[in-house]
Structure 1
Amino acid sequence: MALPLPQVNEQAMSDNSHHGHARSEDYVFRIPTPPRVVIPALNAWNNSKASWHPGDIIYNPDPTVNVDFLQETDYLGELARPVVSGGGWTYANRRRAQSVLSYLYLGPQNAARDKEYLQREGITMILAIEHKTPSGSLLTKGPMKVADELGIAKAKVEVAHNQELISLFPTTTRTINSHLREMHNRRMLNPQGGIPEGKVLVFCESGNEKSAGVVAAYLMDTYTATDYVKAAQICNQRRFCCSFDDSMKQLLKTYGELVTAKRDIASLNGQSNHSQGQPITNPFFGSPEIASPQPRQPGSYFAAVLNGGRKREREIEQEDVDMDEGNGIVADDQDRFSGREFVPFR
């Protein structure tokens, strides 16, 4: 006669009541993924329907890409006017380009092939962001031919996938700004020559993905008060059909952190070397010319180096002691969780 098996209550240890904690969310069995990057909708961001200002233009010591002259112009364009989320947007607008700033346009390849549109808007350069294929892409041949017929500048960036964009963002920003600077210099040299101000159309096949990411990165690179969230919102404000998927949002977030970190480092260097005349600049575009340092008292330089070395040696020894005692580990663990609102158990 078989004896009945005892009833076993299978329960996770984290669910036991005697622990005094309850899980915040249900368990999900899936591949671990990074947290989703949430970009608020425009109507939530712009409740007051106020105009939006991306900030001041970052000074660049390289004269070939410095566009601070735009500060004296109406560079905001349509962005300076209040816009309701989706207001006046129609499906047909997807096939047209829109001005994000007065000199920067975003749209599909259809707009880049429209000769009348390019002439009417005064576009002086087209920048193609196309998908790289083994046999080469035929999508940009039409726009490039139109650019040759109109005598305007053209440039092309090929990417196999979106992840390659993060390494090309500085290049696309430099391409745009160098063209704007060139057109401005030509106008200054020949004021009566009828040379227009530079205007750049950035496009991809749909005008909603890769090219939108390039424009968002440009805004972060060029303006002081624009992070990845605001950059994406500005693009959506001007071109409502822009599509930033999770991978593109994560890409822009990472790039924004890189821009902020390098800008902070450049700012610290600029402050510490203020007496040497080094301006605070965008670190992605080279470095300023180093002015002659102020003279020191004889022997003071070597004394400072030696004293600084001894001080750093003592700091390293103290850090080793802290790690041996566990203090450093506790501090690192606390820093890891600082600023997090979500907790797995309550």
Structure 2
Amino acid sequence: MTSVLPPQSQMGITEDQLRELIQGPGEEWSYDMRRRCQEILPHLYLGPLQASKSLETLQALGITHILCIRDAKEAFAVRPRFPDNFKYMTLNVEDSEEQNLIRLFPQAKEFIDIGAAQGGRTLVHCNGGISLSPAFVVMYVMQHYQMAWEDALHMVQNRRYCISPNGGFMTQIKEYESIYKAGLAVQRFPPQQQQRVVSRRKREDDEDDEDVRDQDRKRILVDDDGDNDDGNAMQS
């Protein structure tokens, strides 16, 4: 799935601006704020189930899309509540260290990007807004700004201080940095140049194969000559 929005770093953002983004608004954190959602990007909010229950609050924030991430066992409680008012995507994800997030992330990213491209805002939430949904948001921020995983994590933490993805999720967040960077490298490589590289490598492989065949033929001839010499020596 391809991204709808161009990354901010490709739109002329400076290192100083990026540093300010990571630092965040510097708002003093209080315990009750974990029950509310926080703005991570102008088009992206992160929070717990509680934040998805108030129609009035969601409309006041300009939310248009809601990404509901839950363990399947929580489906009775963590579910779309206002399907007539918002566009929903629901992902069943276990909050366990063995859960594969990287495989599911492209769906989440596309949903958020489409909402932004339509001029909307997406709330990403799970039950507590501590581990599951923050892991997806950190990966999104990382790729959106093309930043290191540590910077993305700090950026999200500086807006929602209570996040704490489990160890398995943290490992995948780190791994995803190299994955998205590899994808960017491929995108920046002109198709014509890719074809030239493939053709050159094929020629090189063919030449290597021909060299191997030549060496094999020479080895056979040498072996044959050696056999004849040995035979003559035995007869003398």
2:98 counterpart of 1:158: no
8 Å Cα contact 2:72-2:93 kept in structure 1: yes
User: How big is the shift at 1:256?
Assistant: 1.9
- Code of the aligned partner of 1:129: I
User: Is the CA contact 1:125–1:198 (under 8 Å) kept in the aligned structure 2?
Assistant: yes
What are the equivalent positions in structure 2 for 1:115-154 lying under 5 Å apart?
Answer: 115-133=55-73, 137-141=75-79, 144-148=80-84, 151-154=85-88
- Matched with 2:106 is 170
What is the SS of the residue equivalent to 2:104? helix
The residue aligned with 2:204 is 308
The answer on whether the counterparts of 1:131 and 1:137 sit within 8 Å (CA) in structure 2 is yes
Task: Give the distance between the partners of 1:237 and 1:218, measured in 2 at CA.
Answer: 16
Could you tell me which of 53, 63, 66 is aligned with 2:4? 66
Conserved 8 A contact 2:21-2:155: no
Paired positions, count: 203
The CA distance in 1 between the partners of 2:153 and 2:211, in whole Å, is: 43
- Counterpart of 2:137 (choices 212, 215, 218) is 215
Q: How does 1:166-245 map to 2 (within 5 A)?
A: 166-181=102-117, 183=118, 197-224=119-146, 226-245=147-166
Partner Cα separation in structure 2 for residue 236 and residue 164 of structure 1: 22
| Cα deviation 1:190-247 (Å, max 9, x = unaligned) | xxxxxxx2100000001111100010111223232x1221111111011011113322
Note the residue ranges of structure 1 that are not aligned, 5 or more in a row.
Answer: 1-59, 184-196, 279-292, 295-301, 318-346
| CA 245–160 in structure 1, closer or farther in 2 if over 3 Å, else same | closer
Deviations 1:100-137 (A, max 9, x none): 0011000001001111210111000110010023xx61
Q: Identify the structure with the greater helix proportion.
A: 2
Coordinate RMSD, CA, aligned = 3.5
2:217 aligned residue: none
How far residue 82 of structure 1 moved from its aligned partner, in angstroms, is 5.2
Task: Decide whether the 8 Å contact of 2:142 with 2:177 is kept in 1.
Answer: yes
* Aligned pairs (5 A) from 1:261-272: 261-267=182-188, 270-271=189-190
TM-score by length of 1: 0.51
Partner-residue secondary structure (3-state), 2:4: coil
For 1:167-207, what per-residue CA distance to the aligned partner results, in whole angstroms no more than 9, with x for missing partners?
101111011112222x2xxxxxxxxxxxxx21000000011
**Cα drift, residue 248 of structure 1:** 1.8
1:239 match: secondary structure:
coil
Provide, for residues 263-312 of structure 1, a one-character-per-residue CA deviation record: whole Å limited to 9, x for no partner.
33443xx24636xxx9xxxxxxxxxxxxxx99xxxxxxx9x687433444
Q: Could you tell me which residue of structure 1 aligns to residue 170 of structure 2? A: 249
- Structure 1 residues 314 and 210 mapped into 2: Cα distance closer, same or farther (>3 Å)? farther
Task: Give the Cα–Cα distance (whole angstroms) in 2 for the partners of residues 313 and 204 of structure 1.
Answer: 55
Question: What CA distance in whole angstroms lies between the structure 2 residues aligned with 1:200 and 1:99?
Answer: 10
Separation in 2, partners of 1:91, 1:167: 33
Unmatched tracts of structure 2, length 5 or more: 214-236
State the partner residue of 1:26: none
Deviation at 1:258, TM superposition (A): 1.9
Work out which structure has the larger RCO, using CA pairs closer than 8 Å and 6 or more positions apart in sequence.
2
Corresponding residue SS for 2:100: helix
- Matched residues in 2 for 1:102 and 1:306: separation? 47
Identical residues among aligned pairs (%): 25
TM-score under structure 2 normalisation? 0.72
Conserved 8 A contact 2:95-2:132? no
Q: Are the equivalent residues in 2 in contact too, given 1:126–1:147 (CA < 8 A)?
A: no
Q: Which residue of 2 aligns with 1:25?
A: none
In structure 1, what is the equivalent of residue 229 of structure 2?
none
Q: Distance in 1 between matches of 2:123 and 2:135?
A: 14
